[in-house]
Structure 1
């Protein structure tokens, strides 16, 4: 089953699509955070929430990958002017939606689907996903920002909470995990063409999460040992290349999750067809008793009485 999914990944040009997703995601990351900054300033009057949103967004990344990007993101978000946030958000929405479109292409190829919807409708839908994702990320960021103050107030009334000093760290990782799971479920359910049930997408979502955790740990360990090679090879582009390679690995795993769901769905259809094929000959050879027609009683014309 897993081998069949990998062969389907190769047959559907998974490596090429993964590179497209990785590059589109990296290019749409900064525009997406610009949208988050604009919305945070509009709703809460505090663009600093976008900085917290960026931390949540990078929470699940290996530290060696996330740290350079976090510095660059902080520099971009803190230097944005009001005019950029006002007029540039339109262009940021378009470029951020390109990352969503790349995910749609990968899942349509994995599920063997053709896209009947118009390109304008798909782009509008992708922009809607970007806006909803930005609002959800701001809401989670707001809760994380408020968490230390809420915990400090609770400690005044409940001194026993002082021993839970690492609660904020647990909350941050929990929020990052929840955001990741919800995003994966929504993407598999509604982003590609057609409709699927939760049971159909659950194996691919679970496999994606597990493989992401494993690959993140392995890649982080690899960078801890051999990061100097990237700095030597790519110089000032080292942080961007490290992020791009990590996104390429994550995109490959994401497509593999879709291929796994597709293989499982195909096998379920084959089992159903085989079951129906076994039932058909049995139904065809079964003896169906014929319904006997009731015969009308015959009257003897000779004994019939003639009316007077």
Structure 2
């Protein structure tokens, strides 16, 4: 009813076209702090949770884009990158509004400015987490030098990188469901859809990685030189469909709660009239 498959393809393509402008923006912001390695580390964080078979070819291209020298990147180039990367947020807004059965009433320029704000905040957050990942091992080595007895905990600290990636995913989903779609919902109201989305994403990562590991030639024989791009796009498509499915679950649960609340109110009013 909400054209979920069509909207999923829109989100997948918008995300693909928004990814590299977002990374260029990351590189520009990292340049302000005097280091380009932060942007490279941030891009690694983005793809840490992806299946290796999907992420590896894209990471190589991402590294090439981030290490390329650009003139005037902080002027027109950065503004264009900011605008085009915000299209990814706009596609999420369209999909979530459909899933929740809502209509956007705000003017387009206001929602676009809001999306740009999310992109800027997301870029700074990614750089902050990347800085944490870069400095974390250095700080831990200093701690080990001072207190060698803590060395057995090194594996736990290394696993913390996975925790950071998981936290980023969870934060993005909460912000998307709670704030990007029109209207406001409590965190508890969006938990069911987020939990289902994370579970489906995890299973999709395992399944898609296994499929590519066993049958990677299928894409190469079908799409030729475009196989890498198509694998990435198909994976994004499935992620988007699962994201929308989570929104549909939340929308259904919220609607059911609203119906129950209205029924209780009508029952109370009927009792009051009877008295």
Q: Normalising by structure 1, what TM-score?
A: 0.86
Name which one, 1 or 2, has greater alpha-carbon Rg.
1
Query: Which of 55, 60, 67 is residue 44 of structure 2 equivalent to?
Result: 55
Deviations 1:250-298 (A, max 9, x none): 1001111111111001111121222233333333223xxxxxxxxxxxx
Corresponding position of 2:238: 249
For 1:45-78, what per-residue CA distance to the aligned partner results, in whole angstroms no more than 9, with x for missing partners? 0011110000001111111111111000001111
- Counterpart Cα distance in 2 of 1:209 and 1:245: 18
* Unaligned 5+ runs, structure 1: 1-10, 287-308
Provide the rounded CA distance (Å) in 1 between the counterparts of 2:271 and 2:177: 39
CA distance in 2, matches of 1:151, 1:235: 46
* Aligned match of 1:25: 15
Cα distance in 1 for partners of 2:148, 2:158 equals 19
Compare 191-200 and 17-26 and name the one that shifted more.
191-200
- Structure 1 counterpart of 2:145: 156
Pairing 1:48-197 to 2, within 5 Å after superposition? 48-197=37-186
Matches of 1:281 and 1:130, distance apart in 2: 50
Q: Give CA-to-partner distance per residue, 1:133-156, whole Å, 9 cap, x none.
A: 000000000000011111111111
Unaligned runs of 5+ in 2: none
State the distance in 2 between where 1:269 and 1:260 align.
Answer: 14
Equivalent residues of 1:200, 1:265 under 8 A apart: yes
* Deviations, residues 181-234 of structure 1 (Å, cap 9, x unaligned): 111111111111111111211111111111111111111111111112112221
TM-score (norm 2): 0.96
How far did 1:85 drift?
4.9
1:35 corresponding residue in structure 2: 25
CA RMSD of aligned residues (A): 1.3
- The change in CA–CA distance for 1:29 and 1:168 in structure 2 (over 3 A counts) is farther
Report the alpha carbon displacement of residue 162 of structure 1 after superposing the two structures with TM.
2.6
User: Distance in 1 between the 2:55 and 2:70 partners?
Assistant: 25
